[in-house]
Amino acid sequence: MIGTKEIVWTGPVPSTVVETKPFWDACNRGIFLVQRCRDCGETQYHYRGFCCHCWSDAIEDLAIEGAGKVWTFSRVLVNRSPQFAQWGVYVTGVVELPEGVKVISRILAENPETIQIGTPVRLAFARAESGQKIPLFVVQEGAIG
């Protein structure tokens, strides 16, 4: 069962730069950050140093719960990339969050065939060998798309 064990990340680990360090540090504490602009009020993800809507630098961090729904997805059956060889069949997709953002992510399920558009998912963190926590989404138990 996915929900009862630590998830191990075996894929590539993102680089951390000054601009994204607060996001990755928050992930290591089990917190997922999106941002809200104090000037225009819009919410954004991915993490950056300015508002992608109005270009203001008056942005603030917003920690989210991480419950969402699959907006779209792709089930990968064959992947010849060595970085993902251990994954076998896997799902990557876009998760729509109630905070008004969409997040591209790996989506885990006991059976990848059960994932559909609209399937409820929740935020989880996988741990890379380096110790870095990587956010991803897991199908909520008992969920039907």
Give 11-32 pLDDT, tens digit per residue. Answer: 899 888 999 999 999 999 999 9
**In angstroms, rounded to a whole number, what is the distance separating the alpha carbons of residues 48 and 34?**
9
Name the pTM for this structure. 0.90
User: Within a domain: residue 57?
Assistant: yes
Count, residues in the chain: 145
User: Within a domain: residue 72?
Assistant: yes
User: Within a domain: residue 41?
Assistant: yes
User: Within a domain: residue 144?
Assistant: no
Residue span of the structural domain in which 116 resides: 2-139
**In angstroms, rounded to a whole number, what is the distance separating the alpha carbons of residues 55 and 92?**
29
User: Within a domain: residue 8?
Assistant: yes
User: Within a domain: residue 145?
Assistant: no
User: Within a domain: residue 27?
Assistant: yes
Give 108-125 pLDDT, tens digit per residue. Answer: 999 999 999 999 999 999
Query: How many domains, in total, are found in the chain?
Result: 1
